[in-house]
Amino acid sequence: MNRIIDYKNLSNEIQQWIKNYVLDNNIKTLVVGVSGGIDSAVVSTLCSKTGIPTIAIGMPLNSKPENTKLSNIQLEFLSKLNVQTIEIELSETFKSLEQNIPFLFKSELSSANSKSRLRMITLYHVASTVNGIVVGTGNKVEDFGVGFFTKYGDGGVDISPIADLYKTEVRELGRYLGVPQEIIDAVPTDGLWDDNRNDESQIGATYEELEWVMEYGMNKSIYTDKEYNTLEIYQNYNRKNKHKMVPIPIFDLKENEII
């Protein structure tokens, strides 16, 4: 992306924004899930720098060793910044849930989403015991572009500090913040599937391509074949996942009043 950003200033502004919210709402603690990805690494690091008590939680759930390794690297990094770090193993909890659901109601997609929702429940359980809030880790492409998140899973949060930043900008902010290089270089993945699929292979386009569509591509009249393909991918995901990105529909009694 070509947006000109002063990352030192951006870091300070996000930290102040978090602190203002905490002060206005009498919050005592920030709770962040740490997956091993760049988004959660940046958000948890920003939280640590606010001076507000922060709890960072790793939640392995049938996780690939490489994902757990990256999560542990970030937790170790945060522990040096006076952050309370916890690992909560959820594999057996999820296994119990799966075993009690009739086979008729099981699918690969529902299992992946349920993993994300179990992690959300865990974060809120912790947050409710420490007068805390759950801090979101979604970026602009995922939260407002293609809707690449689980409704009431990783989309279930109280505040979203990086939801107006593109993935490439989150990565650059991570460099400024000193996030471990292994995490900056890692291929983005949600870690919810049993195979090795990553975010971009699931979507069918790179984050850089999707960012181009969001920033410039919607207003073009002539496209190359590759640009048009990316535009179609973006529009398909945006349309399909719109329900995640807009307020819940509410029946309006006044608009539907029967006289």
Task: Tell me the domains of the chain and their CATH numbers.
Answer: 7-199 (3.40.50.620)
> Which tokens sit at 72?
């542990």
- The pLDDT tens digits of the residues spanning 120-177 come to 999 999 999 999 999 999 999 999 999 999 999 999 999 999 999 999 999 999 999 9
| pLDDT tier at 218, thresholds 50, 70, 90 | confident
What gap in Å lies between CA 220 and CA 74, rounded to an integer?
Answer: 40
Q: What angle do CA 234, 115, 15 make, to 5 degrees?
A: 70
Tell me, yes or no, if the pTM score tops 0.75.
Answer: yes
3-state DSSP call for residue 92?
Answer: helix
Residue 209: partners with Cβ closer than 8 Å, 6 or more residues away: 230
Q: Is the pLDDT of residue 36 over 90?
A: yes
Q: If phi over 0 gives left and psi between -120 and 50 gives alpha, with beta otherwise, what is residue 38? A: alpha
Residue 111: partners with Cβ closer than 8 Å, 6 or more residues away: 98
Q: Is the pLDDT of residue 75 over 70?
A: yes
- The pLDDT tens digits of the residues spanning 177-212 come to 999 999 999 988 777 777 778 888 889 999 999 999
Q: Is the pLDDT of residue 11 over 80?
A: yes
What gap in Å lies between CA 84 and CA 75, rounded to an integer?
Answer: 9
- The pLDDT tens digits of the residues spanning 40-70 come to 999 999 999 999 999 999 999 998 888 899 9
